């Protein structure tokens, strides 16, 4: 083991500094890397000029001009002046060029492309000018289909238009993409290439989406790095006008879009000459536009006589694209000095093995090429830049004549195809041009952002050298079903330059680690001669999840688009992660480890870390440091914000730059970030930096410590997972899949453990045990009045009432205090009551503490109560559920029902989850949920965490997510399927009864069931009787008779006996915008479905963009200047447009009873029901955080900002000659009171505009006030006009399900 005392970073200077008490100077071990020698005689890059065909198309596409002379032999002129260098991510790099080159943009959020839309919206709102001197006009549309339509229209009008999207969004654009290409209109669409939703949704990167549009006729240009994202964006914009072919410019989602790297920025000023060159083509584009001054018609319908020829007429334009792209590449190179080609070859000039690849993976392959050639092999790589139009000639020109074996790497999968798309293109080129090679194989890698590393790339080249190479292989996963995988060796020593420092940070979402690391990248990259790269990986939790930051720093450019594999520095910012995850697995021997913990000695470390970590310390001999960041932050007044402390410690220990230079830069960045908040905050952060350096503690690990010790106690994945979950005997799926995934080791799972089709079992969050609360509520039995409101408001189902007999309590832990149950009559006599918290599942949001009307809950630090309350919770879980003793449809009674949605991954205090939790308490055992994509599909369905669970009989919500845009139709389809199956079941029951088959009990039970089968409250009991009778006398085997067949049918479909309760759930972005057309259609059908809109008044899941529910004056993303139009009145529109729909507007945190009533009534209504639920969200920025969101919710209702009402439609028929019945509207928030401005000033989304532009805010708030009063008057009138009918109240009238009709406003 090497232990030379030299810095792990690029700075060789000692990091000695005044005032680091107790710190032994850092002396990280050296990297075990050697500088890469150049392959003798081989240039670093090798490109073969291709021969243009020379033919000029007859029907006049613009000819390619003469290539610009290439002053340096490589086609690239040196840049005129030193370009500005800056750390940016791929999205920003692209958006800068898109903004500079376009006048109009239509946008819609989708991860990971959203930041590009946000950037252009922001720049436009600041009045930034593009190269044409115009401020871009930016409009958010209702969906990507809408974006594509608007794009087409603006283009047809002659505008310069761009947009940004990926994945499902790109799929929605396909119809218009055909149109735009068919009409030969120049445009650029920037795509962060992302996976598609198939067996599961994935927001991560691969090429499935772009491959799904390769047939639309758009040119497709691929960027392989952050630098290229900028350069290819520009090349696309410049070429499209000449070519009259629209361009998709794409790069890898997350890997490139979200990687921060130091690049050479193109100054929009310096491209003006290039723009001047294409001005005639831009003018042509405008002249071709639809214009009554010189009209023409387009978009005609054509018959068999001419349609075909019309398509072929465009050929010359598409044929000309490759030359035009190359020409633009050359022109751009003359300005930037960076020369690209349609296919760039790198590697040995006489390579016998060549890989063809596209995207960031090619950068990884390039490091393998360097490594292998250095070992004396002859390998090469062709990087595909222009994918469409495919230019076989240019590919062949780039391919070394010596190549005998070729592998094509695709980052996509096409089930059932003869090969993935890039492979097919290369194959056809090879075959049609009769290229004499021995082997051509294809492989897949990197789907859904699976890491692709240099060692895997080496495996690809090794495969090619084998006597019979694997074809259609995968790399990066273990395919133990088809055995198609290649096995990679150890990671390479020389994949990054020797001078590079690699760092890995383990943080918790919202603890500031990621933000601090982004700042560190900026600080270091700004340093002369330094390069920096940052990549950040998150888990699926909305908050409190794990983040890992992968940072690299060095003196040479960093081309390493993969995770850090051997870290010189590891920061463990949450000490519990040492137990939960294998945090040190990627540590380089002798590297630096910093743990955020108050431990001061090796003994203390030993006492707290698991055996596995001790073994790693013994084996890897890190330089180990601890810091009590929480203590430091508290002392300087920063409370729980430990990020500045950890960042200062990082600069002190990592050695990436001398500490005496780093500290002033860090302080400068503090000043920049916090000066708006005042000197006090700035000084507190300064103090945190200074104190951090003083409080670092070096833990000396003696030579030979624990070496040679028995490692049988080594904790493996499963054991660690058991530790996390607290489970004692993990069942198969949990053990094999869920637990390794929870331990962040899903990457190691083989194909065979997954259920094909992507299904996951219920209730897995119950074993997750995140333990993220700093303090949890403890119950005061003397003060409690047993209202159950705390449980009612808890978003996480982490506090629940217990009911037990004295006998059941005999084995209770000592701390399990109870009191006699209050009320409930004889049925409850003798029962004891308790309110129990689950300390591992509570998020510490304090909603329950603030909601308790009796002050019977107080937050206590988790370490004080953990042991006792864990034992209490475990005991509580063993008590019988006693929901049946209570009336469900009450606030108190609902909380005695076991929630069948628990411990979701939502943010602390989320306002969406309590609604869904309550639904499961009311109807969970018979619910089917169609869930739109959005926060509710992420906290509700991020594998392996499934919060939907089952009751003691195994019944519980069946949950599915189709797509964001089609959820209403999906839920409607479920209902139609259910309806058809139940109709067949009813028909069979009728036959069985009529033909007197089966036992007498069965026939009686069936007869009864037929009476009540559509009544949700009664069908369950009748179903149980049918099932019992069937069990008692099974169906006869003879299915040849009608009666026998009917009985067999009933026996085979008992799961349809109880009435399914179909719920269509989603956010306002879905309901008001992208899914509205579907929703509207479902209203029109009158079918028995229930719709719940979780209305956060913005697109929460993608970071808070504007929806049509966003109110006037709110500053959200895509409305940087404040929303200037009123929100859509979904409830009023529905009541007026579809009066037979049940409609309720509710706010759980403001009126508990009303929401229970509304849900009960909605479910009982036999037609369509709509509940619009006000859902406080962290992104609204309530004053005091989510723990105080209840105050905001109450003010929202009091001021009329959020009205409460319930509308019951009239009966569907009425007696001739009587009055036509009307629906009944109950306005539950009758009077407006309170001060609207006081409410608005509590919420950052409104307050932000008041701070920025008081006059604009006053005006918009005034308009908002007016609209609230107008709506209130309107609702009052609607309520007064609606007369209660004797038979009104669909619930009572239709099925007697126990729900009272809403009272009329007058009653």
Ligand X SMILES: Cc1ncc(C[n+]2csc(CCOP(=O)(O)OP(=O)(O)O)c2C)c(N)n1
State the catalytic residues: 111, 144, 194, 1101
Window of 25-33, 629-637, 790-798, 1152-1160 that interacts with ligand SF4 by CB under 6 A: 790-798
Using CB distances below 5 to 8 A depending on partner kind, what does residue 738 bind out of ligand X, ligand SF4, none?
none
User: Which residue spans within 934-1069 are E strands per DSSP?
Assistant: 958-960, 1061-1067
| Lookup: tokens for 278 | 């294409």
The site partner of 109 among ligand SF4, ligand X, none (C-beta below 5 to 8 Å per kind) is: ligand X
The reply to whether 845 sits near ligand SF4 by the rule CB under 6 A is yes
Q: Is 1068 in the site for ligand X (CB under 6 A)?
A: yes
* Nearest to ligand SF4 of 828, 1248 (CB atom): 1248
Longest distance between any two alpha carbons in the chain, whole Å: 101
Which residue, 447 or 1305, is less far from ligand X as judged by CB?
A: 447
Contact of 356 with 461, CB cutoff 8 Å: no
Phi, psi for residue 389 in degrees, rounded to 5: -65, 145
How many Cβ atoms are within 10 Å of 130's Cβ, its own excluded? 20
The values of phi and psi at residue 109, to 5°, are: -80, 135
Contacts of 96 (CB under 8 A, 6+ apart): 88, 119, 230, 233, 265, 266, 268
Query: What Å distances lie between residue 887 and 128, 826, 884, 1141, 1282, CA to CA?
Result: 61, 14, 7, 26, 30
Q: Which does 777 bind (CB under 5 to 8 A by kind): ligand SF4, ligand X, none?
A: ligand SF4
CB burial of residue 1008 (10 Å; 0-12, 13-18, 19+)? middle
Query: If binding is defined by CB under 6 A, does position 912 make contact with ligand SF4?
Result: yes
**Which residue, 111, 113, 187, is CA-closest to 149?**
187
Q: What CA–CA distances, in Å, run from 1264 to 150, 222, 1100?
A: 29, 46, 22
Strand-by-strand arrangement of the 1169-1174 sheet: 958-960, 927-931, 1061-1067, 1090-1095, 1169-1174, 1142-1146, 1205-1208, 1224-1227
Closest Cα to residue 215, out of 40, 470, 424?
424
Q: Which is nearer to ligand X, 186 or 934 (CB)?
A: 934
> Per rule CB under 6 A, is residue 1173 in the interface with ligand SF4?
no
Binding piece for ligand SF4, criterion CB under 6 A, among 57-65, 282-290, 332-340, 795-803: 795-803
Min dist CB 899 to ligand X, Å, is 19
* 321/1173 with CB nearer ligand X: 1173
Q: How far is the CB of 798 from ligand SF4 (least distance, A)?
A: 4
Smallest distance from ligand SF4 to CB 937, Å:
11
Q: Where are the alpha helices (DSSP H) in 302-442?
A: 307-312, 315-336, 361-374, 392-398, 421-432
Give ∠ CA 287-290-295 in degrees, rounded to 5. Answer: 90
Total residues contacting ligand X by CB under 6 A comes to 26
Q: At its nearest, how many Å lie between ligand X and the CB of residue 124?
A: 20
What six digits make up the tokens of 1173?
A: 């639920």
Partner that binds at residue 933, options ligand SF4, ligand X, none, CB closer than 5 to 8 Å by kind:
ligand X
Residue 508 interaction partner, one of ligand SF4, ligand X, none, beta carbon < 5-8 Å per kind: none
Residue 1002 in contact with ligand SF4, rule: CB under 6 A: no
| Contact indicator for 972, 1082 with CB cutoff of 8 Å | yes
Q: Does 798 bind ligand SF4 (CB under 6 A)?
A: yes
Residue 1198: CB minimum distance to ligand X, A = 24
* Closest CB 1095 distance from ligand X, rounded Å: 8
Short-list 1301, 1210, 1229, CA closest to 1271: 1229
Nearer to ligand X by C-beta: 192 or 920? Answer: 192
Closer CB to ligand X, 898 or 1096, in the complex: 1096
| Positive or negative: CA dihedral 170, 174, 175, 176 | positive
- Using CB under 6 A, pick the residue from 835, 847, 1045, 1155 that binds ligand SF4: 847
Task: Determine, following the binding rule CB under 6 A, whether residue 846 of this chain makes contact with ligand SF4.
Answer: yes
Among 89, 118, 142, 144, binds ligand X (CB under 6 A): 144
User: Does 1110 contact ligand SF4 by CB under 6 A?
Assistant: no
Rounded to the nearest whole angstrom, what is the least distance from the CB of residue 539 to ligand X in the complex?
17
Which helix (H) or strand (E) covers residue 741, if one does?
helix 739-742
Interacting span for ligand SF4 (CB under 6 A) from 43-51, 96-104, 1106-1114, 1177-1185? 1177-1185
Which residue, 100 or 772, is less far from ligand SF4 as judged by CB?
A: 772
Instruction: Please list the residues that pair with 1066 across neighbouring strands.
Output: 1093
Would you give the DSSP letter of residue 570? E
Contacts to ligand X from residues 890-929, by CB under 6 A: 912
> Where would I find the beta strands (DSSP E) of 555-701?
567-572, 587-596, 623-627, 697-699
Going residue by residue from 238 to 267, which x/- string records binding to ligand X, judged by CB under 6 A? ------------------------------
- What residues numbered 155-194 form the site for ligand X, per CB under 6 A? 168-169, 172
What is the x/- site pattern for ligand SF4, positions 919-958, by CB under 6 A?
----------------x---x-------------------
Residue 217's binding partner, choosing from ligand SF4, ligand X, none, with beta-carbon cut-off 5 to 8 A by kind? Answer: none
Q: Does 584 bind ligand SF4 (CB under 6 A)?
A: no
Length of the chain equals 1307
The candidate with the shortest Cα–Cα distance to 1156, out of 1134, 1141, 1139, 1173, is 1173
Residue 1005 or 1171 with smaller CB distance to ligand X: 1171
| DSSP structure string for 147-182 | HHHHHHHHHHTT--EEEEE-HHHHHHHHHHHHHHHH
In this structure, the dihedral spanned by the alpha carbons of residues 1188, 1194, 1196 and 1197, taken in order and rounded to 10 degrees, is 160
- Is residue 224 at the binding interface for ligand SF4, with CB under 6 A as the rule? no
Number of residues that bind ligand SF4 (CB under 6 A): 26
Closest residue (Cβ) to ligand X?
Answer: 1067
Q: At what angle do helices 1244-1252 and 1254-1281 cross, to 10 degrees?
A: 140
Residues 1104-1123 that bind ligand X (CB under 6 A): 1107
Rounded Cα distance between 119 and 113, Å, is 11
Contacts of 738 (CB under 8 A, 6+ apart): 721, 764, 767, 944
Please report whether residue 907 would count as binding ligand SF4 according to CB under 6 A.
Answer: yes
Q: Which of 592, 889, 1178, 1288 binds ligand SF4 (CB under 6 A)?
A: 1178
Q: Which of 1100, 1110, 1160, 1250 binds ligand SF4 (CB under 6 A)?
A: 1100
State the nearest-atom distance from the C-beta of 516 to ligand SF4, in Å.
Answer: 22
Query: Pick from 1018, 1026, 1021: which is nearest to 1002 by CA?
Result: 1026
As measured in angstroms, the least distance from the Cβ of 929 to ligand X is 14
Contacts of 1252 (CB under 8 A, 6+ apart): 1115
- Of 221 and 857, CB closest to ligand SF4: 857
Q: Of 109, 115, 497, 998, which lies in the binding site for ligand X, with binding defined by CB under 6 A?
A: 109
Among 594, 935, 1056, 1057, binds ligand X (CB under 6 A): 935
Dist. CA 177–CA 1031, nearest whole Å:
58
Q: How far is the CB of 1108 from ligand SF4 (least distance, A)?
A: 17
Per CB under 6 A, the list member of 910, 1006, 1132, 1164 interacting with ligand SF4 is: 910
Q: Checking DSSP bridges between strand 104-107 and strand 161-165, what pairing results, if any?
A: parallel
Residues paired with 1243 in a beta bridge: 1182
- Out of 836, 936, 1180, 1191, point to the residue binding ligand X (CB under 6 A): 936
Enumerate binding residues for ligand X (CB under 6 A).
Answer: 109-110, 144, 168-169, 172, 912, 932-936, 964-965, 1066-1070, 1094, 1096, 1099-1102, 1107
Enumerate binding residues for ligand SF4 (CB under 6 A).
Answer: 542, 776-777, 794, 796, 798-799, 837, 842-848, 906-907, 910, 912, 935, 939, 1096, 1100, 1177-1179
């Amino acid at each position: 083991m090497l232990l030379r005392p030299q810095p792990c970073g690029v700075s060789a200077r000692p990091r000695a500094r005044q005032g680091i008490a107790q710190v032994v100077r850092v002396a990280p071990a050296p990297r075990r890397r050697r500088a890469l020698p150049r392959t003798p005689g081989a240039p670093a890059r090798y490109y073969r000029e291709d021969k243009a065909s020379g033919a000029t198309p007859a029907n006049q596409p613009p000819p390619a001009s003469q290539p610009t002379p290439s002053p340096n032999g490589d086609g690239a002129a040196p840049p005129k002046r030193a370009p500005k260098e800056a750390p940016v991510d791929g999205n920003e790099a692209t958006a800068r060029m898109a903004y500079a080159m376009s006048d109009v943009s239509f946008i819609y959020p989708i991860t990971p492309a959203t930041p590009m839309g946000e950037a252009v919206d922001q720049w436009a709102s600041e009045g930034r000018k593009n190269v044409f001197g115009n401020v871009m006009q930016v409009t958010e549309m209702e969906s990507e289909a809408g974006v594509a339509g608007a794009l087409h229209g603006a283009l047809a009008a002659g505008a310069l238009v761009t947009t940004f999207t990926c994945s499902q969004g790109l799929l929605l654009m396909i119809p218009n993409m055909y149109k735009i290409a068919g009409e030969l209109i120049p445009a650029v669409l920037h795509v962060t290439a992302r996976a598609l939703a198939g067996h599961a949704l994935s927001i991560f990167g691969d090429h499935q989406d772009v491959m799904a549009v390769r047939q639309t006729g758009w040119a497709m240009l691929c960027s392989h790095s952050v630098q290229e994202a900028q350069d290819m964006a520009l090349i696309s914009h410049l070429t499209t006008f000449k070519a009259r072919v629209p361009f998709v410019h794409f790069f890898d989602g997350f890997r490139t879009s979200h990687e921060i790297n130091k690049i050479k920025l193109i100054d929009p000023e310096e491209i003006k000459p290039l723009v001047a060159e294409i001005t005639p083509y831009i003018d042509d584009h405008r002249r071709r536009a639809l214009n009554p001054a010189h009209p023409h018609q387009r978009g005609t319908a054509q018959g068999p006589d001419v349609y075909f020829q019309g398509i072929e007429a465009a050929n010359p334009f598409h044929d000309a694209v490759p030359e035009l792209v190359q020409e633009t590449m050359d022109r751009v190179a003359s300005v930037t000095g960076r020369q690209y080609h349609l296919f760039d070859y790198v590697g040995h000039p006489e390579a016998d093995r060549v890989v063809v690849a596209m995207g960031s993976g090619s950068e990884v392959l390039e490091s393998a090429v360097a490594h292998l050639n250095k070992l004396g092999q002859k390998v090469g790589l062709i990087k595909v830049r222009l994918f469409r139009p495919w230019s076989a000639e240019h590919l062949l020109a780039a391919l070394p004549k010596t190549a005998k074996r070729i592998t094509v790497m695709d980052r996509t999968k096409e089930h059932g195809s003869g090969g993935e798309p890039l492979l097919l293109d290369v194959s056809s080129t090879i075959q049609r041009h009769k290229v004499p090679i021995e082997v051509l194989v294809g492989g897949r890698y990197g789907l859904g952002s699976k890491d692709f590393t240099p060692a895997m790339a080496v495996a690809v080249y090794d495969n090619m050298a084998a006597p019979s190479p694997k074809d259609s292989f995968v790399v990066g996963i273990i395919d133990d079903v088809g055995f198609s995988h290649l096995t990679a060796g150890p990671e390479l020593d020389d994949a990054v330059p020797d001078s590079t420092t690699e760092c890995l940070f383990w943080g918790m979402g919202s603890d500031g680690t990621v933000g601090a690391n982004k700042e560190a990248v900026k600080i270091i990259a700004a340093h002369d001669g330094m390069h920096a790269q940052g990549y950040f990986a998150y888990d699926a939790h909305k908050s409190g999840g794990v983040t890992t930051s992968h940072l690299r720093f060095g003196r040479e450019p960093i081309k390493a688009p993969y995770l850090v594999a051997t870290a010189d520095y590891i920061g463990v910012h949450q000490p519990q992660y040492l137990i939960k995850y294998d945090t040190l697995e990627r540590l380089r021997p002798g590297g630096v480890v910093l743990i955020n913990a108050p431990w001061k000695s090796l003994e203390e470390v030993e006492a707290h870390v698991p055996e596995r970590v001790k073994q790693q310390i013994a084996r890897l001999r890190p330089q180990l440091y601890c810091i009590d960041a929480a203590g430091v932050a508290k002392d300087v007044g920063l409370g729980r914000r430990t990020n500045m402390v950890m960042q200062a410690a990082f600069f002190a220990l990592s050695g990436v730059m001398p500490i005496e230079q780093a500290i002033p830069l860090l302080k400068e960045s503090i000043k920049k970030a916090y000066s708006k908040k005042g000197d006090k905050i700035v000084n507190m952060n300064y103090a945190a930096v200074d104190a951090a350096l003083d409080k670092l503690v070096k833990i000396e690990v003696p030579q030979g410590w624990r070496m040679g010790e028995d490692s049988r106690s080594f904790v493996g994945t499963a054991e660690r997972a058991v530790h996390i979950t607290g489970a004692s005997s993990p069942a198969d799926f949990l053990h094999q899949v869920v637990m390794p995934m929870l331990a962040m080791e899903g990457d190691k799972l083989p194909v065979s453990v997954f259920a094909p089709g992507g299904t996951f079992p219920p209730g897995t969050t119950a074993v997750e045990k995140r333990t993220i609360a700093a303090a949890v509520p403890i119950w005061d039995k003397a003060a409690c009045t047993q209202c159950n409101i705390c449980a009612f408001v808890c978003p996480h189902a982490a506090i629940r009432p217990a009911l037990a007999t004295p006998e059941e309590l005999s084995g209770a832990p000592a701390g399990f205090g109870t009191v006699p149950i209050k009320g409930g009559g004889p049925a409850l006599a003798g029962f004891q009551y308790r309110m129990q918290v689950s300390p591992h599942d509570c998020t510490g949001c304090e909603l329950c503490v603030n909601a308790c009307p009796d002050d019977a809950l107080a937050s206590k630090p988790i370490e004080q109560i953990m042991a006792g309350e864990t034992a209490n919770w475990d005991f509580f879980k063993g008590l019988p559920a006693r929901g049946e003793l209570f009336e469900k449809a009450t606030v108190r009674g609902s909380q005695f029902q076991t929630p069948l949605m628990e411990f979701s991954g939502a943010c602390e205090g989320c306002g969406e989850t309590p609604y869904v939790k309550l639904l499961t308490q009311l109807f969970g055992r018979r619910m089917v949920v169609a869930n739109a994509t959005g926060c509710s599909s992420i906290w509700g369905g991020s594998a392996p965490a499934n919060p939907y669970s089952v009751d003691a009989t195994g019944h519980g919500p069946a949950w599915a997510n189709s797509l964001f845009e089609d959820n209403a139709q999906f839920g409607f389809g479920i209902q139609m399927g259910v309806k058809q199956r139940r109709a067949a079941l009813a028909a069979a029951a009728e036959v069985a009864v009529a033909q007197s088959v089966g036992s007498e009990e069965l026939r009686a039970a069936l007869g009864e069931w037929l009476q009540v089968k559509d009544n949700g409250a009664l069908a369950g009991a009748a179903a149980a009787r049918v099932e019992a009778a069937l069990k008692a006398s099974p169906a006869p085997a003879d299915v040849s008779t009608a009666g026998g067949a009917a009985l067999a049918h009933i026996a085979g479909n008992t799961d349809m006996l109880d009435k399914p309760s179909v719920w269509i759930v989603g956010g306002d972005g879905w309901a008001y915008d992208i899914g509205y057309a579907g929703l509207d259609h479902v209203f029109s059908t009158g079918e028995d479905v229930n719709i719940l809109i979780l209305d956060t008044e913005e697109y929460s899941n993608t970071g808070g963009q504007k929806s049509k529910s966003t109110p006037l004056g709110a500053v959200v993303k895509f409305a940087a200047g404040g929303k200037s139009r009123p929100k859509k009145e979904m409830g009023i529109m529905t009541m007026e447009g579809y009066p037979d729909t049940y409609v309720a507007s509710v706010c759980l945190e403001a009126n508990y009873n009303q929401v229970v009533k509304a849900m009960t009534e909605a479910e009982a209504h036999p037609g369509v029901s709509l509940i619009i639920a006000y859902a406080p969200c962290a992104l609204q920025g309530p004053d005091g955080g989510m723990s105080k969101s209840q105050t905001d919710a109450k003010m929202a209702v009091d001021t009329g900002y959020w009205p409460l009402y319930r509308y019951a439609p009239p009966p569907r028929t009425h007696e001739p000659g009587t009055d036509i019945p009307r629906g009944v509207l109950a306005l539950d928030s009758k009077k407006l009171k309170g001060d609207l401005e006081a409410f608005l000033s509590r919420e950052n989304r409104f307050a932000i505009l008041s701070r920025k532009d008081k006059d604009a805010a006053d005006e918009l708030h005034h308009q908002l006030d007016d609209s609230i009063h107008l709506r209130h008057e309107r609702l009052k009138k609607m309520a007064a006009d609606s007369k209660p009918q004797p038979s009104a109240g669909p619930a009572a009238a239709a099925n007697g399900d126990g729900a009272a009709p809403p009272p009329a406003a007058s009653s």
